């Protein structure tokens, strides 16, 4: 991937993460998962594990977006330093 593609990907990731609709959806899903987990019976181990996996996937997705944003910032800084 070229530096320009890295910057474009990071810019898009930042735009998505900054969007109020995305943020509201993220918070809603996280609240739903927490509420489902907190109200689940202790003996429902499989259900709790599924909820934990869903939480892990969402956390990994957010981490990937953050990684794209950071990579773009580094590419921009590298480009400025090279000039």
With a CB cutoff of 8 Å and minimum separation 6, the contacts of 6 are 68, 71, 72, 75
Interhelix angle 3-18/20-39, rounded to 10 degrees, is: 60
pTM score of the predicted model: 0.83
Q: Which tens digit of pLDDT belongs to each residue from 4-62?
A: 999 999 999 999 999 999 999 999 999 999 999 999 999 999 999 999 999 999 999 99
* Helix (H) or strand (E) segment spanning residue 14: helix 3-18
């Amino acid at each position: 991937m070229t530096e320009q593609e890295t910057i474009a990907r990071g810019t898009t990731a930042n735009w998505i993460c900054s969007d109020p609709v995305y943020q509201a959806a993220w918070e809603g899903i996280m609240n739903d998962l927490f509420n489902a987990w907190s109200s689940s019976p202790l003996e429902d181990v499989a259900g709790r594990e599924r909820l934990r996996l869903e939480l892990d996937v969402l956390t990994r997705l957010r981490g990937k977006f953050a990684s794209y944003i950071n990579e773009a910032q580094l590419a921009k800084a590298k480009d400025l330093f090279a000039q």
